[in-house]
Amino acid sequence: MIKHEIKIAFTEYNSLAELDTADQIICREAVKAMEHSHSPYSKFKVGAALLLESGKVIRGSNQENAAYPSGLCAERTALFNWGANHPDDPIQTIAITAHTDNFDILKPVTPCGSCLQVMAEYEKKQGAPLKIILYCIDGPVWVTTGVASFLPFMFFEERLVAQ
């Protein structure tokens, strides 16, 4: 028998003010992305912003649908936009935030498993990990590098390759 242990690491900041200027800006872009959230059912707005190597910012927001499986998370909205329109401009950072009027959000909101898997795919595609910033408005900020911190057993099958 072999016992394995997986550890994750992230840095927690008390507030946005503790981040460097570039990280503060991309977090504010994630807040702006929430303005376009279509969340009439959950009332839970999520915004994501990607900072590309060129300095370009891509925003995404959650898009709900009455047929619940037909909606899409903010992270995948932004990431699929990148994949369709800017695949040669590597992603440096993704910032994610959320807000609801229904209750106070006291800690950063983490991406769902589907979004993490898509993030992992794009890390692999670009050959570099993403800086991931989870921003709790008026609260703590978590920063890490690489999706493996959140999804240590991401799905990759090396024999599934594009022909």
pLDDT digits 0-9 by tens, 52-86: 999 999 999 999 999 988 999 999 999 999 999 99
Query: Where on the phi/psi map is residue 146: left (φ > 0), alpha (ψ -120 to 50), or beta?
Result: left
Cβ proximity of 36 and 61 under 8 Å = yes
Domains of the chain, start order: 11-149 (3.40.140.10)
pLDDT digits 0-9 by tens, 10-41: 999 999 999 999 999 999 999 999 999 999 99
Joined tokens for residue 98: 């959320």
The catalytic residue among 29, 75, 121, 158 is: 75
The pTM for the full model equals: 0.92
Is 75 known to be catalytic? yes
